[in-house]
Amino acid sequence: MTVITTRQTRTSRLRKKALAAALAPVLAFGTTSAWALTQVTSFGSNPGALQMFKHVPSSMPSNAPLVVALHGCTQTAAAYEASGWTALANTHKFYVVYPQQVSGNNSNKCFNWFEPGDIARGQGEALSIKQMVDNMKANYSIDANRVFVTGLSAGGFMTAVMGATYPDVFAGAAPIAGGPYKCATSMSAAFSCMSPGVDKSATAWGDLARSGYSGYSGRKPKVSIWQGTSDTTVKPMNMTELMEQFTNYAGVDQTADVSDTVAGYPHKVYKNSGGTPWVETYSITNMAHGTPVDPGTGASQCGAAGAYILDVNICSSYYIGKFFGIIGGSGTTTTTAGGTTTTTATTTTTTTAGTCYKSSNYSHVTGGRAYNSMGYAKANGSNQNMGLNNTYVITKLRKTGTNYYVIDNTCP
């Protein structure tokens, strides 16, 4: 099983770190996986005693995005590359960090999403994951406004943890077969949280998310939620509870603004007051417990089927990347909104282009198509870094939705 966990007794954080060191890593420092995954052995105090693996594509641009991908129980970092993130990073040029749990912390190698000492800001496994991000920022040119987190099962629950405890770090979160932050704060409660699930009001869930970083009033993460309708490990009601938590947290109502299908699967979008998609849900019909993938070479295909990596003809990593604004191109959908229409297809899509705007970054900002972030212009909606906010840098933007713009060099 992938999510049901058993936690070993830890007498101290020092002992926990010693256990992690004694349980030799799957990949030794300096070695690589089939897709060039490399371990980083020192990345901070690491109070959660986790392991860090990274993927760095060749020829990386400056100010590139970063995705943190959290595996499920019994999996490894290398195994979770099959979800498609490494291959997509090579194509679309972003960094990937794969945290890895060890059996010294949890006998099933589950992230401890239900342990109070591991899910609080500044503590345990949550802090270890944040320190991995800090390490990447210190060693590579990473856009701090485009750091994202995703994960499956226990990694999906931990994704919600990171979105609630470090909203100042993560611009987006994508839990797959996961559940709300603080759905459980003990192992016994975790079983009920996973199945049948815990029903709370949107306000109650939102308050729990806000407790992750009390007093914080800044940006909240965009959230993409994925769930199989036939999942008997983490029951489907968790998707609704997650939606309620992160819409309420971001000040978004719980009425879907878009209800459509993507690759034949029900998809809903919840927009903020500015009309920007902020929370979305994908309900994968008849899918059991796992990460959805669609192996192949098409533009929207990715992943490789395996244990808890399920070929259901839609690659979650690709569509999550699109939602985060770090993957360009078009996907399979029936949505018509904000000047962009994409037509339904199995693996490819034709797109009717939205309005193009070619002007200086300064003009884009003053024209309401972008915003200033520490001297850089960022496209509204996608948050793509356009370069310095001045009259000399010229950028082509395409409007793809209400107050949503992407960099598009194919514009005239």
Q: Residue 113 above 60 pLDDT?
A: yes
Residue with tokens 């370069």: 387
Q: Between residues 263 and 348, which one has the greater pLDDT? A: 263
Specify the length of the chain in residues. Answer: 412
Are 163 and 246 a contacting pair, CB within 8 Å?
Answer: yes
* pLDDT of 6 strictly over 60: no
The amino acid that residue 249 corresponds to is: Y
d(CA 96, CA 70): 10
pTM: predicted TM-score of the whole model, two decimal places: 0.75
Longest dimension (CA), the chain: 64
Per-position DSSP letters for 342-367, written without gaps between them: E---SS---EE---EEEEEHHHHHHT
pLDDT tens for each residue of 85-102: 999 999 999 999 999 999
pLDDT at 382: 66
pLDDT, residue 377, reads 85
Which has more pLDDT, 178 or 348? 178
pLDDT value, residue 399: 83
- Beta carbons of 201 and 244 less than 8 angstroms apart: yes
Any idea which of 61-65, 175-179, 303-307, 359-363 has the lowest mean pLDDT?
359-363
- List, in order, residues 6 or more apart from 195 with CB less than 8 Å away: 232, 233, 234, 235
Over residues 161-186, mean pLDDT: 98
Instruction: For 219-229, write each residue's pLDDT tens digit.
Output: 999 999 999 99
Quote the tokens at residue 24.
């030799």
Tell me what pLDDT residue 147 has.
Answer: 98
Q: Is the per-residue pLDDT at 115 higher than 60? A: yes
Beta-bridged to residue 371, according to DSSP, are: 378
Q: Say whether pLDDT at 247 is over 90.
A: yes
Tell which residue, 220, 21, 13, 204, has the closest CA to residue 123: 13
Within 142-198, residue ranges assigned H as helices are 154-165, 187-194
Tens digit of each residue's pLDDT (9 = 90 or more) over 194-214:
999 999 999 999 999 999 999
Taking all residues of the chain, what is their mean pLDDT, rounded to a whole number?
86
Q: Is 58 an active-site residue? A: no
Q: Residue 135 pLDDT > 60, yes or no?
A: yes
Question: How many Å apart are CA 382 and CA 369, to the nearest integer?
Answer: 11
pLDDT level of residue 408 (50, 70, 90 thresholds) = confident
Structure tokens at 28: 């030794």
Mean pLDDT confidence for 118-137: 98
| Residue of 33, 83, 128, 153 marked catalytic | 153
Q: What are phi and psi of 171, to 5 degrees?
A: -80, -15
**pLDDT grade, residue 336 (50/70/90)?**
very low
